[in-house]
Amino acid sequence: MRQNVTIIGGGITGLTAAYWLRRRAPDVGIMLIEASGHLGGKIGTERFEGFVLEWGPDCFLSRKPGGVALCEALGITAELVGRDPRYERTFVRRHGRLHPLPAGLSGMIPTNLDALTHSSLLSAAAVERIAQEPDLPPQMENGDESVADFVTRRLGREAFENLIEPLMGGIYAGRADQLSLAATFPQLRQLERKHGSLLKGLTQNQPAKDEPAHPPFVSFPEGMQTLVERLVTQLDGVEILLDTAVSRIEKSVNGYRLAVMGQSPILRLHSGQVRHLQSQAVILTTPTFVSSRLLAELDTGLAAALADIPYASTALVNLAFDEADVPELDGYGYVIPLVEGSEALACTWSSRKWHGRAPDGKVLLRVYIGRYGDDDVTAYDDGRLLSIAQNEIRQMLDITTEPLFQRIIRYPRAMPQYNLGHLDRITHIKTKLAAHPGLFMAGAAFHGVGIPDCIVSAETAVEEVIGQLPHYKGTL
């Protein structure tokens, strides 16, 4: 009997898992089950009257291997585009005005002290404090530390609040005083241990780097959905069920029994009906609070460990304007430190950051709202989210006209938080999971929230599945 694997979730993790499984094990039957009618999960692009509006991520990092490697496998690297070099500037909102991000950041860490002295973002005392970093003794004890504690200890409070916290906040929509350094930026801790200092480590002994093949942040002319579309065209033979949600997973004699609900024509399933499917192996790529629910009866301990990972809710407000109603925007946008006390996290000038995101004479902006620990902004109505976004751009960019149109996207519990102890939580989950051969997990909650991390986690899960498949041979 043919071996079969079911992938739950049709985000980038699930689609990548389907793609690699199809390539690595072409004789295995693959079914992908997605609760919504859309493939791509958090990734989604709307193309509307010449605008290219991102509903979620607007790019991925090329230096992390997973994303570009997948594009190479799909044969689409020639389609990758970088940010528009004409506007290569980012700002930080501080004390109610915009300051250019100082030059010479390595990742988020400032290494060019000269550039810092000319920056309006940091006081002379803050720059002096950063300059002392190489002389501070390293802390060699083991144990997790928050990003806030680490950065403040090494570079001082002001550098943390004005510079590093807003850059980091944009990635995780998180609280730096709760985020685990070991889980989010382990390379910073390693620099301290190896070189005794971040600045020494970043400026000394750096091997000469070859010219990178791609710009640091990449997307596609028609938006991130292109990645999903190209992936999907290479999933021949994968049975994809849309509008179908898995509601429970149980053990069965030959693997797992999945309860599914939805409106799948393939399963002849109508709304409200439940059907059961058998699968030898299952890859869960759902958010961990969903996976927890699905596994609640199979393994209460595993379900509890999965439910322990917190998530932040965020909302995005895309706004379109006539260029004549907007001041000159010379940059990619700005980030907003927590200490500014705003519900907005950042404002991206999308049609400056990416060429071709708005028709000639029009401008596209987007405001990110909500961070972990604040009120759940996805519960706000459209009027309130729009008003937060409009207040933000009124204050900072002096835009007072009504937008031509807006798109408001809510992401309830979207961003897993790698809080203190995260790596221990993941180890605990993996240990529990090992008691269930044929059950695998991948996705943003484990070893990185970025798209390349999700892609790598899918590839790892596929290798694990393939490693176990021979044990299932002939058992169905």
Ligand X SMILES: Cc1cc2nc3c(=O)[nH]c(=O)nc-3n(C[C@H](O)[C@H](O)[C@H](O)COP(=O)(O)OP(=O)(O)OC[C@H]3O[C@@H](n4cnc5c(N)ncnc54)[C@H](O)[C@@H]3O)c2cc1C
- Where do contacts with ligand X occur on this chain (CB under 6 A)? 8-14, 33-36, 41-43, 56-60, 245-246, 285-287, 290, 314, 316, 411, 414-415, 443-444, 449-451, 454
Q: How far is the CB of 315 from ligand X (least distance, A)?
A: 8
Neighbours of 231 (CB within 10 A): 22
Q: How far is the CB of 31 from ligand X (least distance, A)?
A: 11
Q: How far is the CB of 364 from ligand X (least distance, A)?
A: 15
Strand ranges in 102-156 using DSSP code E only, listed in sequence order: 105-106, 109-110
Q: How far is the CB of 199 from ligand X (least distance, A)?
A: 27
Helix axes 147-155, 165-172, angle to 10 degrees: 160
Q: Computed from CA positions of residues 266, 261, 229, 44, in that sequence, does the dihedral angle turn out positive or negative?
A: positive
CB 250 within 8 A of CB 297: yes
With respect to ligand X, which residue has the nearer C-beta, 58 or 133?
Answer: 58
Element (H, E) at 31: strand 29-33
Counting beta carbons within 10 angstroms of the beta carbon of residue 103, is it exposed (0 to 12), middle (13 to 18) or buried (19 or more)? middle
Helix (H/G/I), strand (E/B), else coil: 328: coil
With respect to ligand X, which residue has the nearer C-beta, 142 or 271?
Answer: 271
Q: How far is the CB of 207 from ligand X (least distance, A)?
A: 26
With respect to ligand X, which residue has the nearer C-beta, 176 or 227?
Answer: 227
With respect to ligand X, which residue has the nearer C-beta, 176 or 454?
Answer: 454
With respect to ligand X, which residue has the nearer C-beta, 127 or 258?
Answer: 258
294, two tokens: 């699905």
Give the CA dihedral 218, 418, 242, 3, nearest 10 degrees. 100
With respect to ligand X, which residue has the nearer C-beta, 43 or 377?
Answer: 43
Phi-psi region of 421 (alpha: psi -120 to 50; beta: other; left: phi over 0): left
Instruction: Identify how many contiguous H helices and E strands the chain contains and give both numbers.
Output: 17, 21
Q: How far is the CB of 413 from ligand X (least distance, A)?
A: 10
Residue nearest ligand X, Cβ-based: 41
Q: How far is the CB of 219 from ligand X (least distance, A)?
A: 9
With respect to ligand X, which residue has the nearer C-beta, 12 or 199?
Answer: 12
